[in-house]
Structure formats: C-alpha cells, structure tokens
C-alpha cells in the first residue's frame, strides 16, 4: 500500500504566495506519509481576469512554476502531479493548461494538456466561463508508469466525459488524478457523483484535488477534495479551505475488486 494525497487550495492572483502555500501543504502531506501528492487545477494562479494566465505563461522546460515543481519533488522525495499551469503555445494569445508529473528525484516524467475546455454559463448564476478564449486544448489522454500503478490525468471539465476515462481504462489505467477548480454550484450538484461514477465504471482509484473556498477574483470553488477507491468508496474528503486528504492506494485491493467483479472484461462496445 502507498499513501497518496490530494492538496486543496484557494489560490490567488499572486504566484509567489500560491507556491509558498503549496509547498507548506505538500510538506504536511509528506510528513503524514504521502509518497504521491497531487495539486489542484490553477494551483499557481487564479487570476483576476481570464487573460492573466497569458502573462504568467512559461516555455516548456523553463520557468519558476516548473522549477518549483521539480524542487519540491526532489526536496521531499515525493512524486508530484502538478495540477495545471499555463504553458506557452505557438499562439501568443493562448496557453495550454498543462499538468506536469515529476518523480521523487525531481525529474519530469510526463505532461498532460487539458482536452475539454469549460465554455459554460453556469445555470442559476451570472457566472460565465470561456476557457477557449485563452486556452488551446490538448489532443489526447496520457498514461504514465509510476511505482504506484499506471496513472492517468483528467482535468476538471474532462470529468464530464466518460468516454475519455474509458479510453484510459482500455490502456490499463489504475489511478486517475483529477486536478480541478469546480465552481461552488456545479460542484454541489455533480462533483462527488461524477468522481465516484468514474471510479466505479473503470474500477480504478480516483485522486481529486480541488480548489476550495473564496478567491480574490470573487469566484467561489467547491472544495471537497477526495480520494475514492475502485468500489466507489470515498476514503477521505476535505470540505473547504486549504488542506489535504490522505489515503492508501492498495494494489492488492484493486486487483481483488477487478478479479471478483470483472465488469471491464464484459464490455461489448468500445471507443476508439
């Protein structure tokens, strides 16, 4: 068994402050035994305006946010799933929402770019989101080999597309990390039920670090970061504010559940 943690933050427009807060929470989770920690979407920056991320973008392989992720992974000897950060593209007016994965030596071993973009008027509110105005979508899912199992990443709005998870399942995913910044309204309605459904459907662990609280830009995020086992059991949940959840990823339990309930072997229809 391996202890894994999902970090919850209420990030601000100040990158330096957010990185300090992230390191503090990572250190606490590692002290509690975590060997893998996952940060939420936009952990380094929740700007006052959608285009603030353009000013903070980094070239792939160069920049303070990437340096930070490599540093904390090496300093605390922990695998880090780096939420999302703004990565430069060929379009100077857009970024990729990139999730970077580092091993416990501080070496980058993977990158996933958010595929599904949140272009939504939130029902019952005045909130309007148009991520496609500033973000260029990624093109595919990614699976990464880790000591804890085969790890996939889905970011926030990706959670609403079960075929995206099913594709990772066909590639043998054991753990899916879902860095998110779910709104308070949509989170209250759908966050837990979607996370548990994705775990149950694909018989995998789900680690879901979320933004949680009031932000300087006026936004409120839902929190309730959680870790869910392959049977859909919520192993730990942190409701609001900064903190973390911690739970064991048990490979033996994973294989046992898949063995006694072989639903993945009974599929009749397959996505490309």
Residues noted as catalytic: 41, 114, 156
Q: Are 39 and 80 in contact (CB under 8 A)?
A: yes
How many Cα atoms sit within 13 Å of 21 on the Cβ side? 22
Distance CA 40, CA 244 (A): 11
187: left (phi over 0), alpha (psi -120 to 50) or beta: alpha
Range 142-179 burial, b when 16+ CB lie within 10 A, else e: bbbebebbbbbbbbbbbbeeeebbbbbbbeebbbbbbb
């Amino acid at each position: 068994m391996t202890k894994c943690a999902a970090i919850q933050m209420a990030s601000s427009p100040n990158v330096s402050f957010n990185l300090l807060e992230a390191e503090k929470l990572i250190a606490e989770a590692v002290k509690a035994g975590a060997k893998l920690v996952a940060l939420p979407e936009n952990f380094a920056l929740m700007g006052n305006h959608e285009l603030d991320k353009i000013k903070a973008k980094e070239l792939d392989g160069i920049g303070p946010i990437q340096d930070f992720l490599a540093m904390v992974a090496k300093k605390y000897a922990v695998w880090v799933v780096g939420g999302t950060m703004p990565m430069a593209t060929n379009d100077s007016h857009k970024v990729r929402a990139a999730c970077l994965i580092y091993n416990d030596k501080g070496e980058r071993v993977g990158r996933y770019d958010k595929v599904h973009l949140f272009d939504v008027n939130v029902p019952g509110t005045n909130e309007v989101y148009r991520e496609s105005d500033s973000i260029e979508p990624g093109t595919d899912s990614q699976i990464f080999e880790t000591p804890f199992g085969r790890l996939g990443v889905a970011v926030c709005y990706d959670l609403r597309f079960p075929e995206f998870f099913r594709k990772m399942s066909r590639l043998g995913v054991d753990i899916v990390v879902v860095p998110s910044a779910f709104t308070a309204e949509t989170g209250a309605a759908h966050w837990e039920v979607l996370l548990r459904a994705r775990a149950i459907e694909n018989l995998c662990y789900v680690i879901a670090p979320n933004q949680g609280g009031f932000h300087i830009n006026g936004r409120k995020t839902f929190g309730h970061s959680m870790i869910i086992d392959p049977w859909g059991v919520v192993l730990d949940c942190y409701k609001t504010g900064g903190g973390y959840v911690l739970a064991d990823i048990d490979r033996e339990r994973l294989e046992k559940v898949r063995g006694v309930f072989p639903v993945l072997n009974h599929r009749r229809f397959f996505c490309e």
